[in-house]
Amino acid sequence: MVMQEQSSAIIETTPYYQNITNEEEIFRQAWQHQLPVLIKGPTGCGKTRFVQYMAHALNLPLYTVACHDDLSATDLVGRHLIGADGTWWQDGPLTRAVREGGICYLDEVVEARQDTTVVLHPLADDRRELFIERTGESLRAPDNFMLVVSYNPGYQNLLKGMKPSTRQRFVAMRFDYPSFEQEVHIVATEAGVDEKLAAQLVRLGHAIRRLENHDLEEVASTRLLIFTARMIKAGLPVRQACMACLAEPLTDDAQTVAALMDVVDVHFHVD
């Protein structure tokens, strides 16, 4: 049995999030009109943080599912379990969200198995229904239920892409890395460092992003820049922090790591 990674909670404190364009207004309008939302963007650009921020702003419980290759419709909907007292039904995170209300957020939804799409379609159109085949129930989503999914378009291929018929059921937003000034402010605020250090790291991040087509499957995300800044603030030497939080997470190839560290040395004037 494959158990899904999930969590649900009312987010008590306001998550830090810097509005980039009009994404907050689009999300609020989608919520008010009971429309599902699709968020596209690269790893570490703030998709999950934005959903957390909006869940707090709307005072809704957030059910988060980190999708993966083995995640099936059963993991989302629920299953029968057997114990000492017999057999009972256990709701999955999607069913709980439909029953109780709140935001169900499926992170990297295209990583899940294809049978999940069959379950999502009736929830993502005017029906707003979840059919539980094993119990025969048909649940109508309450007014305070919202379906949100995200994925990284850069990971898509012929086998793992979102079908047009599925995409067209959602209000879609494209996220990207912030502008230089916005990213400096985000790194400085999140890591608790001064803007001079944050600006150096963001310039480094931009330089690494320009290497995207040179043996890098991923580029330096805002998340990794924040990790690096936190490690430097904690007292780790700059070069060691950049090695541990930027170069090594981005590649397993030793030569590419060395090349990334050359970029670090140039930006921080390390001899």
Question: pLDDT truncated to tens, each residue of the chain (271 aa)?
Answer: 334 444 557 777 888 998 889 999 999 999 999 999 999 998 889 999 999 999 999 999 999 999 988 888 899 999 888 877 788 888 999 999 999 999 999 999 988 888 888 889 999 999 999 999 888 889 999 999 999 999 988 765 444 667 888 889 999 999 999 999 999 999 999 999 999 999 999 999 999 988 866 667 788 999 999 999 999 999 999 999 999 999 999 999 999 999 999 999 999 876 5
pLDDT at 213: 63
Beta bridge partners of 150: 39
Show Cβ contacts of residue 15 under 8 Å, excluding neighbours closer than 6 positions. Answer: 49, 52, 53, 56
pLDDT at 8: 53
* Of the candidates 220, 244, 231, 241, the residue with the CA atom closest to the CA atom of residue 192: 231
Compute the distance between CA of residue 11 and CA of residue 195 in angstroms, rounded to an integer.
Answer: 28
Which stretch of DSSP H or E encloses residue 44? Answer: none
* Of the candidates 57, 18, 55, the residue with the CA atom closest to the CA atom of residue 175: 18
Write out the two tokens for 100: 């109780």
Q: What are phi and psi of 131, to 5 degrees?
A: -100, 125
- What topology is assigned to 5-174 in CATH? Rossmann fold (3.40.50)
pLDDT at 160: 63
Show Cβ contacts of residue 209 under 8 Å, excluding neighbours closer than 6 positions. Answer: 177, 219, 220
pLDDT at 11: 76
Classify residue 155 as exposed, middle or buried by CB count within 10 Å of its CB (0-12, 13-18, 19+): middle
Beta bridge partners of 78: 91
DSSP characters for 238-253?
HHHHHIIIIIHHH-S-
CA dihedral 44, 50, 52, 53 (to 10 degrees): 140
